[in-house]
Amino acid sequence: MGTNMQLVWGLVALFCFHRTASRTEALIMTEPAEVNNQTSATLSCNLTNPASDIKGHYWSRSGKIIQDTKSTSSSPHTHYTITKIDFHSAGIYACVFLTDPPVEETIEVRIPPHVSAYKHSENSNENDMASLMCISHGYPLPTDWKWYKLGKTPTDAKMFIINGTEKYRIRSTPNNSTLYIENLDINEDMGEYECIGENDLGRHMDKIHLRVRSRLAALWPFLGIVAEVIILITIIFIYEKRRKPDEINDDDDSGSAPLKSNAATNHKDKNVRQRNSN
């Protein structure tokens, strides 16, 4: 009986201690509790029942301290204004009070995703594989990605691309999505593709233009060099062929001159002999 009574009184004491501790626990009231799809906002925090003296406070975004919010003020109230909310400024904000121990509370600033193509134009060869990538910024990141192939004209319906087919594969994470297109066809696969990222607040999209080149296109520079070499060889051959007859004529002319001089010399020798004999 005594043991049971001690156990009961122990539980009562523990309960009372917990109630007392909970009353004196530091509490931060935030305003607003969350920001959804707004263009600007002012975040505020009010600390009650601090465990010790407040030696300062600051704000952080996604774990990084916002330097110009650091303060040594002992005030239990702090606020931070976001003048323009976009994918650069959205995220998880925290107000931190420098007590012992430090205490903090968070406010989520949420917007629809911001999606952009990694490259707005891609070039690939026929029968090869192409990869098209879109990336996302902001908070929260997309929970779903979709890909479409647009029609050749604005009035044509766009084609929803299904993942895992023989032609298409899609690999997605919250940060990015990549579309792989196998065995490219110059007539069927060339054109505009659209990627869409979605979260619970909305969606955003971007486009990528895919150019598919014929496999012979890669040979054109080589064929051009070969053609230039053939033309150069032909010109040299024609030049050499026209040059040879002229050299032969020059050789004939140079060979006839000594014959004339020899004939003149022989004629003079005959005249000298005739005089001597006379």
Domain segments of the chain as ranges: 24-110, 114-218
Residue 207, pLDDT score: 97
Which of the two residues, 31 and 232, has the higher pLDDT score? 31
| Omega cis (within 30) before 32 | yes
Whether residue 276 is predicted with pLDDT greater than 60 in this model: the reply is: no
> 3-state DSSP call for residue 201?
coil
pTM for this prediction? 0.68
Residue 255, pLDDT score: 52
Whether residue 150 contacts residue 191, with contact meaning beta carbons closer than 8 Å, is answered with yes
Instruction: Report CA-CA distances (Å) from 165 to 161, 168, 170, 226.
Output: 9, 5, 10, 42
Whether residue 214 is predicted with pLDDT greater than 90 in this model: the reply is: no
Report pLDDT digits (tens) over 37-75. Answer: 999 999 999 999 999 999 999 999 999 999 999 999 999
Q: What token pair was written down for 34? A: 């969350």
Report pLDDT digits (tens) over 150-193. Answer: 998 888 899 999 999 889 999 999 999 999 999 999 999 999 99
Equal CATH topology for 24-110 and 114-218: yes
Tell me which architecture the domain covering 24-110 has in CATH.
Answer: Sandwich (2.60)
Q: What token pair was written down for 248? A: 């032969």
What's the mean pLDDT in 118-142?
A: 96
AA letter at 140: P
Biggest distance spanned by C-alpha atoms of the chain: 184
Q: Which of 143, 208, 130, 147 is nearest to 175 (CA)?
A: 143
Count of CB atoms situated within 10 Å of the CB of 122: 18
Return the CATH superfamily for domain 114-218: Immunoglobulins (2.60.40.10)
